[in-house]
Amino acid sequence: MNVKIENLTKVFPGRDKKSAGVTAVKDFNLELPDGKLVCLLGPSGCGKSTLLYMICGLESPTEGKIYFGDQDVTDIPSEKRGVGLVFQNYALYPHLTVKQIIKFPLENLKGEEKLSKEEMDKRALEAAKLVQIDGLMDRKPGYMSGGQQQRVAIARAIVKRPKVLLMDEPLSNLDARLRLHTREEIRRIQKDTGITTIFVTHDQEEAMSISDLIVVMKDGVLHQIGKPQDVYDDPVNLFVAEFLGTPEINVFEGKVKDGGLYIGEQRVLEVKGVDDQDVWIGVRPEGFEVDPDGKFTCELSGINIMGRDITVLSKHDAAKAVIRSIVSAETKVDTEAKTINLNLKPYKTFIFSKETEERIRFT
């Protein structure tokens, strides 16, 4: 089921008439293709959970429309939309066993959809097998680990065979190792079932690693949508460039003059087709080459050898933070030197307008 969102806006009213409301989601337009795993990515408080809750029907939008396929579901109550939601803290009923929890949504079905007891058991077991918790059917949530609880929550969400599966930061309560494992599991389950899945996270690494499509948002506004690698390689503005990638992109204050890109007084790169102006320069950590004749000279402050590659730490007055460049372990770096010369790879270097922070493309 593809999901289409048109001009969606959500304003939470203020506490009283005097205080203004809070706009959580602003004029959002989006089309999510069928059967894909889509990540809503953004910093905390950017409205991504609100957007998810509106798709799910727990919040009603102030303006705009939501379509599942051709059907307008904006005014359809949550239970009739055919969605499954995995909550951040799982929301498993503590007094029920895993089996009862997974069967719970099935027992609500009425009329034509009503299932026999055997059918319910069968479906519950199917869902449990899919998330590999079929050995724990008689346990209660209190006796399970975070990862197991997570799987139960997913099983409950998919047992009704929803058209759209929604996940609200499902990994944030797990420890680092389990998170890695579980996100691969989510990927597998999504592939196995083929359900259109919308996944909310503030962890860009998580988003990059499992999604087919990333939707980057901030302050309720859509910034960029695309395949993870495309968004990483081709950010539309400074925020997206900074938000994606670990370590973070290196950002410098600089300017464009006479077809050259300047950091301080150093002409570091030839850029064509850009008017002279002040800019932000973003260079991915892997966007540097160590070169004795490099055009960009900065103060060397440290080197971390990580085995497979080397992280060179350096300083420059125009840089927003410590400059991190990751180079291959075979690179010869003089650790005793005071300064280091670098070259910038054009396709790993992005320039942004100083005023609007929008991307400026060069050739």
With binding defined as CB under 8 A, does residue 272 bind other proteins? no
What is the token pair recorded at 24?
Answer: 């959580």
What is the token pair recorded at 213?
Answer: 């499509």
Strand pairing class (288-290; 339-344): antiparallel
With binding defined as CB under 8 A, does residue 142 bind other proteins? yes
Could you tell me which residues come within 8 angstroms of residue 355 by beta carbon, excluding any fewer than 6 positions away?
A: none
Which one of the spans 104-112, 170-178, 262-270, 313-321 is the region binding other proteins (CB under 8 A)? 104-112
Which one of the spans 82-90, 172-180, 186-194, 287-295 is the region binding other proteins (CB under 8 A)? 82-90
With binding defined as CB under 8 A, does residue 89 bind other proteins? yes
Q: Which is nearer to other proteins, 56 or 128 (CB)?
A: 56
Contact string (CB under 8 A) for other proteins, positions 40-79, x = contact:
----------------xxx-------------------xx
Please check whether residue 252 is in contact with residue 319, taking contact to mean a CB–CB distance below 8 angstroms. Answer: yes
Please check whether residue 6 is in contact with residue 67, taking contact to mean a CB–CB distance below 8 angstroms. Answer: yes
Please check whether residue 62 is in contact with residue 74, taking contact to mean a CB–CB distance below 8 angstroms. Answer: no
Please list, residue by residue across 252-289, b when 16 or more beta carbons sit within 10 angstroms of its beta carbon and e when fewer do: bbbbbeeebbbbbebebbebeebeeeebbbbbbbbbbb
Which one of the spans 26-34, 37-45, 105-113, 128-136 is the region binding other proteins (CB under 8 A)? 105-113
Q: Which is nearer to other proteins, 87 or 362 (CB)?
A: 87
With binding defined as CB under 8 A, does residue 109 bind other proteins? yes
* Cβ at position 162, least distance to other proteins in Å: 9
User: Which one-letter amino acid corresponds to residue 220?
Assistant: G
With binding defined as CB under 8 A, does residue 91 bind other proteins? yes
With binding defined as CB under 8 A, does residue 85 bind other proteins? yes
Q: Which is nearer to other proteins, 137 or 344 (CB)?
A: 137
* Cβ at position 216, least distance to other proteins in Å: 26
Q: Which is nearer to other proteins, 56 or 198 (CB)?
A: 56
With binding defined as CB under 8 A, does residue 111 bind other proteins? no
The interface with other proteins within residues 156-175 (CB under 8 A) comprises: 156, 160
With binding defined as CB under 8 A, does residue 123 bind other proteins? no
User: Which one-letter amino acid corresponds to residue 149?
Assistant: Q
Kindly state the helix (H) or strand (E) to which residue 4 belongs, with its residue range. strand 3-12
Residues in the chain: 363
Among 16, 18, 44, 94, indicate the residue that binds other proteins (CB under 8 A): 94
With binding defined as CB under 8 A, does residue 12 bind other proteins? no
Q: Bridge-partner residues for 164, per DSSP?
A: 83, 196
Q: How many CB atoms are closer than 10 A to CB 148?
A: 18
Strand pairing class (164-168; 196-201): parallel
End-to-end CA distance of the chain: 40
* Cβ at position 135, least distance to other proteins in Å: 20
* Residue ranges binding other proteins (CB under 8 A): 56-58, 78-80, 83-85, 87, 89, 91, 93-96, 104-105, 108-109, 140, 142-143, 156, 160
